[in-house]
């Protein structure tokens, strides 16, 4: 069987999703999970774009050793040199050079001729080749590029040393049939194409990124560029989990495989969702909350008799336990630890003790603790570990005839207690104003979202907020059975991220 190379660009194109900025340690954490997932190539970032992104790529190149570590670069000398500087310590480095090729981009954005673009593409690939043998080139907006000119560009960059040529549907314009024809045309009209791997990078503006990618694979492309949960610029990228599971589930059709350890898919999805603040929609294929839930009586009857009647995939293959262990206040530490392992969490004894204590406190408030409750609880505990200031107490007084009043107590980095109170237009406003009186960190609240993690009157409420300070957006999440406490936790999570970033920068 032939193999499809999985090129993950969650840390580069995925991070370009509006509001999805990650710090250096968050990018490293995701990169390590991508290594466990078994991706072949990690596009770790765009080193010349900022000092922070350079440092993130450099750190990942040093720490993550199994996959190819790829750095993106404009087609100019400074960007290529900077990319190499970031990845030179990688076990398997790759430089990815890109330059627009469509007449739309050449006329309206670059103001350059086809001949100039052709020469620049050739020269910059040759420059990158001096650093490493593994070079990828992307003619940006390839799906709107005149085919004969695209063939010229691809032939030139392969002659200059490109070992992978990527065909990007940059604006999600392509339809599967025509995109597949474009791939077939490359095999037919680029004389030296046997010296390079054809890759595809499809966007989801028309909801066709996965369909276009799979059609390209069917036509002979052997690398797919994708992101966890399909996040990315505008409507996002082709979803890694959908590409991989389509190839695995329909092996009879594609006769292909990948190196992906599919049991790590769900954990990767949850981690990316947690760190970016982008909630996975319930009906999302493979990793959505409803992907393996059945409500119709007919479906339930079939699944009970034989799962394959309505489940084309075993949920265990993507890391979702097929059975549900009900946990409550009488459950012991061992049962809790086993459930965590089934859900993909392996905690140190110290972290397990802290998580178990939080579980017991939650179990006293709820009759049953579900998998989603546990995942939310673990996420909350992981957020707590990186705190600069710890939320110790929230007390609120409000009502339709009262003046909303909040008292807040924080524990500072030196262990000192800091407390204050404030009035507000509502209870959440009062809580946030009280916190602001203590920390005095200028910021603007730009988004506030509340959702229920599980069903029922005793459900955990999860709050997602985004704040802006100095032109940078910081995401915060908090969960609790008390929505006001969850709101306070979310705000503190965002503020702690802001303070940590300032500490690193300063």
Q: Give pLDDT, residue 350.
A: 82
CA distance 375 to 363: 14
If asked whether residues 155 and 43 sit together in one domain, one would say yes
Q: Give pLDDT, residue 129.
A: 98
Residue 352, number of CB atoms within 10 A of its CB: 18
SS (H, E, C) 30-95: HHHHHHHHCCCEEEEECHHHCHHHHHHHHHHHHHCCCCEEEEEEECCHHHHHHHHHHHCCCCCEEE
Confidence check: pLDDT of 210 > 70: yes
Strands 417-423 and 5-8 come out as unpaired
CA distance 414 to 51: 30
Q: Which pLDDT band holds residue 384 (cuts at 50, 70, 90)? A: low
Q: Give pLDDT, residue 424.
A: 94
Per the domain annotation, does 208 fall within a domain? yes
The mean pLDDT of 225-237, rounded to a whole number, is 97
Per the domain annotation, does 447 fall within a domain? yes
Q: Give pLDDT, residue 353.
A: 87
Domain end position, chosen among 318, 353, 383: 383
Per the domain annotation, does 291 fall within a domain? no
If asked whether residues 469 and 426 sit together in one domain, one would say yes
Considering Cα of 78, then 81, then 85, then 91, what sign does the dihedral take?
positive
If asked whether residues 73 and 104 sit together in one domain, one would say yes
If asked whether residues 436 and 375 sit together in one domain, one would say no
Q: Mean pLDDT of all residues in the chain?
A: 90
If asked whether residues 86 and 14 sit together in one domain, one would say yes
If asked whether residues 32 and 164 sit together in one domain, one would say yes
Confidence check: pLDDT of 506 > 70: no
The mean pLDDT of 449-456, rounded to a whole number, is 78
Q: What is the CATH number of the domain that holds 403?
A: 3.30.160.270
Per the domain annotation, does 454 fall within a domain? yes
Per the domain annotation, does 289 fall within a domain? no
Per the domain annotation, does 28 fall within a domain? yes
Range with the lowest mean pLDDT among 47-56, 151-160, 310-319? 310-319
Q: Which residue has the higher pLDDT, 211 or 498?
A: 211
Per the domain annotation, does 238 fall within a domain? yes
Give burial (CB, 10 Å; 0-12/13-18/19+) of 76. Answer: middle
Q: How many residues does the structure list for the chain? A: 506
If asked whether residues 460 and 378 sit together in one domain, one would say no
**Contact between 340 and 374 (Cβ < 8 Å):** yes
If asked whether residues 399 and 454 sit together in one domain, one would say yes
Q: Give pLDDT, residue 136.
A: 98
Q: Which pLDDT band holds residue 301 (cuts at 50, 70, 90)? A: low
Confidence check: pLDDT of 191 > 70: yes
Task: Give, for 473, the enclosing helix (H) or strand (E).
Answer: strand 472-480
- What is the chain's Cα-based Rg? 25
Range of the domain at 367: 297-383
If asked whether residues 240 and 257 sit together in one domain, one would say yes
Domain end position, chosen among 217, 244, 276: 276
If asked whether residues 329 and 458 sit together in one domain, one would say no
Range with the lowest mean pLDDT among 252-256, 261-265, 300-304, 470-474? 300-304
The mean pLDDT of 315-337, rounded to a whole number, is 71
If asked whether residues 62 and 182 sit together in one domain, one would say yes
Q: Give pLDDT, residue 291.
A: 83
The mean pLDDT of 176-190, rounded to a whole number, is 98
Question: Residue 236: phi, psi to the nearest 5?
Answer: 100, -175
End-to-end CA distance of the chain: 53
pTM of the predicted model, to two decimals?
Answer: 0.76
Q: Residues 220, 243, 133, CA angle at the centre, nearest 5°?
A: 55
Q: Give the residue from 295, 359, 370 showing the smallest Cα distance to 329.
A: 359
Q: What is the pLDDT of residues 342-365, one digit of tens each?
A: 677 777 888 888 888 888 888 887
Task: Give, for 100, the enclosing helix (H) or strand (E).
Answer: strand 93-100
**Contact between 139 and 150 (Cβ < 8 Å):** yes
Query: How many Cα atoms within 13 Å fall on the side-chain side of residue 296?
Result: 6
If asked whether residues 136 and 200 sit together in one domain, one would say yes
Q: What is the CATH number of the domain that holds 146?
A: 3.20.20.70
CA distance 452 to 460: 6
Per the domain annotation, does 262 fall within a domain? yes
Q: Give the residue from 33, 468, 469, 487 showing the smallest Cα distance to 477.
A: 487
Question: Residue 382: phi, psi to the nearest 5?
Answer: -65, -35
CA distance 408 to 391: 8
* Number of domains observed in the structure of the chain: 3
Domain end position, chosen among 365, 383, 401: 383
Name the token pair of 428.
């959440």
Q: What is the pLDDT of residues 265-281, one digit of tens each?
A: 999 999 999 999 899 99
């Amino acid at each position: 069987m032939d193999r499809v190379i999985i090129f993950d660009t969650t840390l580069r194109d995925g991070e370009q999703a509006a509001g999805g900025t990650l710090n250096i340690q968050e990018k490293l954490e995701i990169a390590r999970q991508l290594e466990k997932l078994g991706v072949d190539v990690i596009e770790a970032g765009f080193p010349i774009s900022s000092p922070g992104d350079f440092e993130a790529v450099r750190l990942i190149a040093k720490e993550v050793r199994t996959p190819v570590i790829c750095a993106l670069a404009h087609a100019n000398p400074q960007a290529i040199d900077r990319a190499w500087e970031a990845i030179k310590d990688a076990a398997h480095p790759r430089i990815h050079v890109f330059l627009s090729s469509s007449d739309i981009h050449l006329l309206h954005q670059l103001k350059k001729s086809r001949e100039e673009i052709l020469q620049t593409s050739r020269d910059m690939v040759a420059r990158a080749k001096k650093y490493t043998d593994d070079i990828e080139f992307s003619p940006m907006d390839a799906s709107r590029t005149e085919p004969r000119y695209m063939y010229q560009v691809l032939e030139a960059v392969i002659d200059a040393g490109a070992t992978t040529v990527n065909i990007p549907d940059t604006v999600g314009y392509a339809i599967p049939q025509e995109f597949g024809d474009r791939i077939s045309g490359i095999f037919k009209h680029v004389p030296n194409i046997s010296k390079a791997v054809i890759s595809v990078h499809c966007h989801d503006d028309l909801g066709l990124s996965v369909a276009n990618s799979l059609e390209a694979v069917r036509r002979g492309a052997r690398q797919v560029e994708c992101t966890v949960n399909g996040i990315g610029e505008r409507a996002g990228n082709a979803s890694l989990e959908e590409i991989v599971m389509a190839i695995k589930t329909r092996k009879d059709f594609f006769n292909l495989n990948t190196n992906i350890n599919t049991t790590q898919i769900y954990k990767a999805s949850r981690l990316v969702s947690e760190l970016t603040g982008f909630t996975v929609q319930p009906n999302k294929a493979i990793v959505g909350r409803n992907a393996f839930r059945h409500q119709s009586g007919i479906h339930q009857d079939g699944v009970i008799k034989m799962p394959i009647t309505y489940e084309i995939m075993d949920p265990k293959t993507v890391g979702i336990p097929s059975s549900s262990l009900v946990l409550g206040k009488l459950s012991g530490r061992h049962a809790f630890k086993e459930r965590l392992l089934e859900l993909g969490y392996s905690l140190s004894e110290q972290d397990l003790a802290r998580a178990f204590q939080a579980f017991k406190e939650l179990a006293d408030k709820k009759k049953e603790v579900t998998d989603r409750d546990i995942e939310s609880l673990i996420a909350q505990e992981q957020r707590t570990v990186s705190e600069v200031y710890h939320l110790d107490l929230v007390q609120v007084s409000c009502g339709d005839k009262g003046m909303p009043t909040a008292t807040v107590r924080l524990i500072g980095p030196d262990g000192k207690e800091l407390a204050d109170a404030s009035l507000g237009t509502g209870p959440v406003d009062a809580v946030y104003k009280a916190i602001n009186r203590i920390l005095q960190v200028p910021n603007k609240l730009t988004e506030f979202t509340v959702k229920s993690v599980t069903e029922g009157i005793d459900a955990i409420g999860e709050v997602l907020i985004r704040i802006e300070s100095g032109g940078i957006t910081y995401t915060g999440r908090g969960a609790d059975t008390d929505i006001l406490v969850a709101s306070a936790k979310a705000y503190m999570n965002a503020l702690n991220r802001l303070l940590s970033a300032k500490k690193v920068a300063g």
